[in-house]
Amino acid sequence: MKRFSRLLCMFVSTTAIMGATSYSAQAEEFLVKDQKSFEEIVKELEPGDVVKLANGKWEDFEVLFTGAGEKDKPIRLTAETSGEVFLTGQSNLRIAGNYLEVSGLVFKDGYTPTSEVISFRQNSKNLANNSRVTEVVIDNYNQPERQEVDFWVMMYGKNNRFDHNHIVGKRNKGVTMAVRLNTEDSQENNHLIDHNYFGPRQILGSNGGETLRIGTSHYSRTDSLTVVENNYFDRCDGELEIISNKSGRNVFRNNTFFQSRGTLTMRHGNNNLVENNVFFGNGADHTGGIRVINAGQTIQNNYMEGLKGTRFGGAFVVMNGVPNGPINRYDPVKDAVIKNNSLINSDNVQFGAGSDEERTAVPSDSVFESNLIFNEDGRDVFTVYDDMSGIDFTKNVLGSMDPPDFTTGFSRARLKMERAENGLMYPQSEISAGVSRDLSVTQKNQTGVSWYPKAEPVIAFGSGETIAVTPEEGSLTSAVETAKAGDIISLSPGDYVVRKFLKIDKPLTFQAEGEVNLTFERTTLFEILNGGGLQIQGLNFSGKSAPDNAGNSVIRTSPYSMLENYRLEIMDTNFTEMNVNHSFNIISVSKGTFADNIAIRNSSFKDVTGAILKLDKETDDYGTYNAEYLTILNSDFESVQGSIVDYYRGGTDESTFGPHFNLKNSSLTNVGSGKRNKTDSSLYLQGVQVTNISNNTFDGVEPFLIKHTVGEPKTKIFKNTFKDTPAPVVVELNSGLEPTALITDNEGLNR
């Protein structure tokens, strides 16, 4: 009767608590409609009780769900209808106690006011144990500033489960999900992370973009006993490590990695098991498989296909370690068992990776056995950096290439491959190497929730409707304001004078239907905002009507940090008369903005007092940069006072793959000699990881200045014609070694 009286008083006073199924000592169900009612009812909950949040938006709701359920009678917090309760604004969830369960909620349109969206603890002394979060969605719930760190899910305590959740669109810095071992109460935790959909995570452009981390460096020699199984990692591209294992005795089983850049990395911790995982790279750049570090790792029955990653992000990588190193460095590989894995049409298998003056400890007492490696093109996939006598190579089969020189543990077999019902490639003939034929592949539709869509992360240019505009004043501006994502703005022939900024907050295409000439009267024409993307086809731009200001530009990004990466494509377009004042750039970016891709094709640039592309705003030397891919093809540059490109990535962090730069089939004439060009170069690249400059003509331009800073940068300058142009200058900024750039087969270059 005592419980009945308390609940009855609450019901009468608030009316927000709707009728329970009964008012007895039996389990009861409550529907609450406001935060205060929830806070009151939580204090009264007993084993088996269910609290439902009413459908709708719950704004700025910091949910603290505590209680003491029982093994067969958990206390549950759920939605009135799964998927129709939205936690928005500055909301989050903390659970603490025993045998609690949360389900059916959606975090969207906001960000956590603390460091965690979902936390399995109230504070450092009150943790969750034997508790579960299931069928919860976190969708683009990001801090406003991309370099502000937070974590979407943080597991503490013991014997907790995180399953069938939908986690997508983390854009700011910080691991998406992590397991913490910072106190004894969270060690040897026996957590289960299963059947979750980890949806696309964009390239962060710096360290701190892991999707899942188990442990930290400080507790990396402590066991976690966490099981990660049957999850789907869909285009998780944040950084080099998709999963960063930093603790011991964990299991990674039956997970699917679909077109995700990076690797499942045994960064720290010993005696982990990695088995029955499937990696589909689909030939995408930097897709990787498994990286092995530390002692006692077992890597068996994993399937890796179409992986194109290199170096630390390769299809299969065994690292060198640091002898007797500190806890945050690379422990040597020892007692590893690597067997019955299949690597199909994947580019790089590396042994002793990272070998340098510090990482001198080679693998020891390890086995590499009964693995199958097959590439249709027969390419040699092996790179060996050090002595591999500490690995016993045996019974491995190569389906299309000659055995490597460093061991006798590989035999070549003439194999014909076919795809089985489970979607994997197997030899038609029976062999003992490679993955088992009964390997079950976790599918996307087996993970996450059924009631929330797994939407594509990028809206393609030109996928929407076509909006016709004329040179009439205001027509173009009005079209931009009313257009929807993916629309094409089609400009009829004529002369356009634009008197306002064209603010691009969605992917739009500007396409000429005939001779279209544009001038503009503000300091810039296009301003790409958060969510924006810009494609330009066939237009003619003149800067003659721009204000007489230093530092004008044709295209710029928002002056503020942008959470969403953007794309910029310029095709068949001409830029002239960008010279009303000095430092008139074509494209300028701001700190905290990041382009997935910038491409210029079949375009011309003439009489420019600034640079073509200023991608140099991340000067803190933390490993950040402004664009992942920059491609210039079949384009002409004449009388440009600044550099064609100022591209900057500072620091020595090894967690990213870019930047990438490609200049091909283009001509540069009289470029880089302006007195305000601080780099004194026609092309300035610092920290670019992949550079290809080929089949171009350079006539009377300042030298290239290329500074290698970290990793193993690949710079190739070949088949170009140089006229009255100095040789490229390449500097190894940190290693002190001889320049590694390949400069060959160029005409007119005196070296």
DSSP 90: S
Provide the pLDDT for residue 25: 55
Structure tokens at 596: 């997935």
Give the model's pLDDT for residue 9: 39
* Residue 36, φ and ψ in degrees, nearest 5: -60, -40
What is the model's pTM?
0.93
- pLDDT of 358 strictly over 80: yes
Strand 667-671 and strand 697-699: pairing? parallel
Q: Which residue in the block uniquely carries the two structure tokens 């459908």?
A: 55
Q: Is the pLDDT at 294 greater than 50, yes or no?
A: yes
pLDDT for 329 beyond 90? no
Are 732 and 739 in contact, with CB atoms under 8 Å apart? yes
| Residue 16, pLDDT score | 39
Task: Give the C-alpha distances (Å, rounded to integers) separating 305 from 257, 374, 397, 418.
Answer: 10, 10, 16, 13
Sequence-ordered strand ranges (E) for 407-506: 410-412, 417-419, 425-427, 466-469, 488-491, 494-498, 502-504
Distances in Å between the alpha carbon of 311 and those of 382, 404, 740? 11, 18, 15
For the cut 50, the answer to whether the pLDDT of residue 5 exceeds it is no
Mean pLDDT on 543-553: 96
CB-CB neighbours of 129 under 10 Å: 19
pLDDT at 433: 95
* Whether the Cβ atoms of residue 609 and residue 674 lie closer than 8 Å to each other: yes
Distance between CA atoms of 588 and 608, rounded to whole angstroms?
A: 13
Beta bridge partners of 68: 98
Supply the DSSP symbol for 537. E
C-alpha 84 chain-centroid distance: 29
Q: How many CB atoms lie within 10 A of CB 322?
A: 18
Check residue 750 and give its pLDDT.
65
* Burial class of residue 751, CB neighbours in 10 A (0-12, 13-18, 19+): exposed
Q: Can you give the pLDDT at residue 11?
A: 41
**pLDDT tens, residue by residue, 427-478:** 998 899 999 999 999 999 999 999 999 999 999 999 999 999 999 999 999 9
Residue 696 has pLDDT above 70, yes or no: yes
Best CA proximity match to 435, nearest among 416, 414, 413, 420: 420
Rounded CA separation 111/638 (Å)? 47
SS3 assignment, position 749? coil
Mean pLDDT of 308-324: 92
CA 663 to chain CA centroid, nearest Å: 25
pLDDT per residue as tens digits for the range 193-203? 999 999 999 99
Using an 8 Å Cβ cutoff, are 44 and 75 in contact? Answer: no
C-alpha 159/C-alpha 129 separation (Å) is: 6
Q: What is the mean pLDDT of residues 421-428?
A: 95
Which of 493, 501, 499, 491 is CA-nearest to residue 473?
Answer: 499
DSSP 683-699: EEEES-SEEEEES-EEE
Report the mean per-residue pLDDT for the chain: 93
Please choose, from the candidates 444, 446, 492, the residue with its C-alpha nearest in 3D space to the C-alpha of residue 472: 492
pLDDT band, very low/low/confident/very high, at 79 (cuts 50, 70, 90) = very high
In the predicted structure, residue 13 carries a pLDDT above the cut 90: no
Query: Which tens digit of pLDDT belongs to each residue from 698-744?
Result: 999 999 999 999 878 999 999 999 999 999 999 998 777 788 899 99
CB 563 within 8 A of CB 538: no
Cα–Cα dist 624/461, whole Å: 27
Distance CA 456, CA 614 (A): 30
pLDDT at residue 316 is higher than 90 = yes
Q: Which residues pair with 338 in a beta bridge?
A: 299, 368
Q: What tokens were used for 1?
A: 């009767």
> What is the b/e burial string over 437-457, where b = at least 16 CB atoms within 10 angstroms of the residue's CB?
eebebbeeeebbbeebebeeb
Cβ–Cβ < 8 Å for 612, 585: yes
**Contact of 440 with 254, CB cutoff 8 Å:** yes
pLDDT digits (tens, 9 = 90+) for 645-668: 999 999 888 788 899 999 999 999
Per-residue pLDDT tens over the stretch 92-151 = 999 999 999 999 999 999 999 999 999 999 999 999 999 999 999 999 999 999 999 999
What confidence tier does 380 reach under pLDDT thresholds 50, 70, 90? confident
Q: Which of 595, 686, 724, 587 is nearest to 642 (CA)?
A: 587
* Residue pLDDT, tens place only, 591-619: 999 999 999 999 999 999 999 999 999 99
Residue 9, H or E segment = helix 2-14
pLDDT at residue 20, rounded to an integer: 38
Share of the chain above pLDDT 90, in %: 86
Cβ neighbours of residue 13 under 8 Å, at least 6 residues apart? Answer: none
Q: Which two tokens stand for residue 298?
A: 């077992």
Give per-residue pLDDT as tens, 509-533. 999 999 999 999 999 999 999 999 9
Q: Which two tokens stand for residue 464?
A: 């929407």
Question: For residues 465 and 483, what is the distance between their CA atoms, to the nearest angstrom?
Answer: 9
- Report whether 534 contacts 506 (CB < 8 A): no
